[in-house]
């Protein structure tokens, strides 16, 4: 027997009760385990780990800029969004074609479809990384708590992929990367979920507007990537927030799968749409 506040409990009876009792659920069907923010912390850890890997691969260049100047060009050449083949020289510069010592990395049109996922974990400098991780820490924990781990992870990945697909379609020749595609999706989903719960949007709308202004006014930012992430996040967020209670999980899974299929279809049509 185990001592408890109400006396003593049989260990076998407690274990049986835990197996048969349904765990508590959030308003959107997720488990309350999301309140621990495990997925958010894991995503931040992956982003930081990739940045550190870039610093390590930068080798001697790390001492004179390394991560501060963009980290390893190898990381960028391997995983950033770009339509066509990337040619990287041993000096860390990009070239227009193959040659002695030139490393070749396939673009999305050449089979490098993985870039639509890897790009959201690559950053161009410590400031870029820090801003995105701060936003992920603030938004991620709240959304993960509301949605649960699995739903939040699906939202994050689909928003990031959606932004990367948009960057692929509208900026096929640029090496685009960063978690901001997913972050913009989180902004959209957060606004939808707060509205669904009857809360005030006064705290999130100004931040979103500021980020949109920065997107359109600061050079070098992927406008298509940010807007694509925003749209994908809004679609997924609406599906998760407004799924009918009597078939909530089925509808939510269908929305997640549907957005993924749509993004895959658009990617396959990419060369035709750009023609």
Question: Alpha-carbon distance 105 to 44, whole Å?
Answer: 26
CA atoms within 13 A of residue 86's CA, in its CB half-sphere: 27
Q: Which of 180, 195, 202, 222 is catalytic?
A: 180
| Secondary structure element (H or E) that encloses residue 161, with its range | helix 149-170
Structure tokens at 124: 């161009």
Please return the burial class of 179, using the count of CB atoms within 10 Å of its CB with bins 0-12, 13-18 and 19+.
buried
Q: Mutual orientation of helices 223-241 and 149-170 as an angle, nearest 10°? A: 150
β-pair partners for 255:
none
Q: Which of 72, 123, 176, 226 is catalytic?
A: 226
Ordered DSSP codes for 187-220: HHHHHHHHHHTT---TTTHHHHHHHHHHHHHSTT
Neighbours of 118 (CB within 10 A): 17
Q: Is 103 one of the catalytic residues?
A: no
β-pair partners for 9:
2
Burial letters 124-143, b for 16+ CB under 10 A, else e: bbbebbebbbebbeebbbbb
- Cα end-to-end distance, the chain, whole Å: 73
Q: Is 180 one of the catalytic residues?
A: yes
Residues annotated as catalytic are: 180, 226
């Amino acid at each position: 027997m185990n001592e408890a506040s109400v006396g003593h409990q049989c260990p076998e009876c407690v274990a049986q009760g835990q197996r048969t009792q349904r765990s508590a659920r959030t308003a959107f069907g997720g488990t309350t385990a999301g309140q621990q923010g495990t997925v958010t912390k894991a995503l931040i850890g992956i982003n930081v780990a990739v940045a550190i890997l870039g610093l390590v691969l930068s080798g001697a260049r790390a001492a004179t800029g390394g991560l501060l100047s963009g980290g390893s060009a190898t990381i960028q050449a391997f995983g950033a969004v770009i339509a066509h083949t990337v040619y990287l020289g041993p000096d860390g510069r990009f070239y227009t074609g193959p040659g002695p010592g030139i490393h070749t990395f396939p673009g999305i049109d050449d089979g490098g479809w993985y870039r639509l996922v890897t790009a959201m974990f690559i950053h161009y400098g410590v400031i870029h990384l820090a801003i995105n991780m701060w936003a992920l820490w603030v938004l991620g924990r709240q959304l993960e708590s509301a949605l649960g781990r699995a739903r939040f992870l699906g939202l994050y990945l689909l928003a990031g992929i959606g932004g990367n697909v948009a960057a692929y379609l509208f900026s096929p020749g640029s090496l685009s990367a960063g978690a901001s595609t997913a972050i913009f999706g989180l902004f959209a989903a957060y606004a939808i979920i707060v509205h669904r719960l009857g809360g005030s949007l006064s705290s999130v709308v100004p931040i979103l507007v500021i980020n949109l202004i920065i997107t359109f006014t600061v050079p070098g930012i992927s406008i298509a990537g940010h807007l694509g992430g925003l749209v994908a996040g809004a679609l997924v967020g609406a599906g998760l927030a407004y799924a009918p209670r009597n078939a909530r999980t089925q509808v939510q899974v269908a929305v997640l799968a549907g957005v993924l299929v749509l993004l895959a279809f658009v990617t396959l049509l990419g060369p035709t749409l750009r023609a």
